[in-house]
Structure 1
């Protein structure tokens, strides 16, 4: 039995390196330190991205939204200028950065991979086999080619700087 398992099962109080009590059973850090670590990792990722000025960004955006310990990105159907106007009209501070959206075409269902995964997941009786596999793959492949679905994905190579001063201040914070 590992030390961590003993601590969890015996309900022994555990403390983070900062001195705070650890309240989650499977963690080795307190909530405050987990958030700090996640923010540090986010900043390191953002430093590596190409920065685009808000006025130069005409694409739709993904706006960062804090969700527990993670930062998710919520789609915004407008450009940076429209985002700033929306937040100001609601009496809110706009975010200091966002992600540009890429327009992509949906490629359809990866039917061969779906079938392979399903077959790997279940236990086939010896001698059993999928009947009509090639015909199904051909049908779905043709169906996929007829689809005209366009969607937006977060561009993971760039960030749009909406408020340079606030962004720089946040990035400099420890």
Structure 2
């Protein structure tokens, strides 16, 4: 999860400081030229960065935030002011998640984004206790426990994903 939190923080810095595409290119160049091959204390594939556009960074950042909010047990009342709640962010993130499944199932032109999304999916696998979003590749059957209910079923790479 450390890599996911690092990426979320970096991508948040990029979006909040309003980087343009040339600054984003320099950022990824810096990672590949000055950092990637100089850190030997982690596995080679521990924390991969794919080159992303600003729009792709915004999309994947929503997924990282959504996962972190669910994992930490974010109190939904914290999103409410004066008896008014804004659930738009949750809806946007869920829509982004489903759209990413569809995009990466059918469109090979989004290789950088889909590599990043696949890495995110690996964090969300059924055995990872540190994930907020849990993805299962097979149906576990009906459960009365609300924490074992599926939100959605989407097809990804010809296989069902139970979310």
Q: Given the two structures, how large is their TM-score scaled by the length of structure 1? A: 0.21
Q: Which has the higher helix share?
A: 2
Q: Which entry has the higher C-alpha Rg, 1 or 2?
A: 1
Q: Which has the higher strand share?
A: 1
